Amino acid sequence: MCRSFNLTKVATTYMPLKSRSTPSKNKHTSPFSVYLALTFLIVVLGCNAIGRIPTEIVYFYLLMSFVSFIIYAFDKSKSKKGGRRIPEKTLHLLAIAGGWPGAIFAQQSLRHKTQKKEFRFVFWITVIVNIIGFTWFFFVRS
């Protein structure tokens, strides 16, 4: 009696673990962006503590960050389910309006919008514009 030889079964059974398909780490996730967002929020809190900026600005950045995180989570949910998505322009407007720290936390924790190079390029432009605007408004113009 001759047994049939199944090469596929043998290959998948004895294949080394590293070469099996496992979820790969997203190469676009970086602790730098999270550190930048945390540092910026700490600077905002510190500036408020020394009386350089009003408390409302702290609340505004925290609120915009929270709203951005929720919108990104909603968009991620819609992308998985195939529903109507949030326009990228809206995500960029939230970022430039001060929600970029929350957007960074959402991008990194939800792994959302981390692979689209054009989106990331425009996003980082909005972050830079917001930081420059914040710095100019509270430090340079006075």
Query: Residue 116 — pLDDT band, cuts 50, 70, 90?
Result: confident
Among 98, 10, 109, 11, smallest CA distance to 57 is for: 98
E-strand ranges in 2-102 read none
C-beta separation of 114 from 120 below 8 A: yes
Lowest mean pLDDT among 2-6, 67-71, 93-97: 2-6
Predicted TM-score (pTM) of the model is 0.76
Per-residue pLDDT tens digits for 52-86: 999 999 999 999 999 999 999 999 988 888 888 89
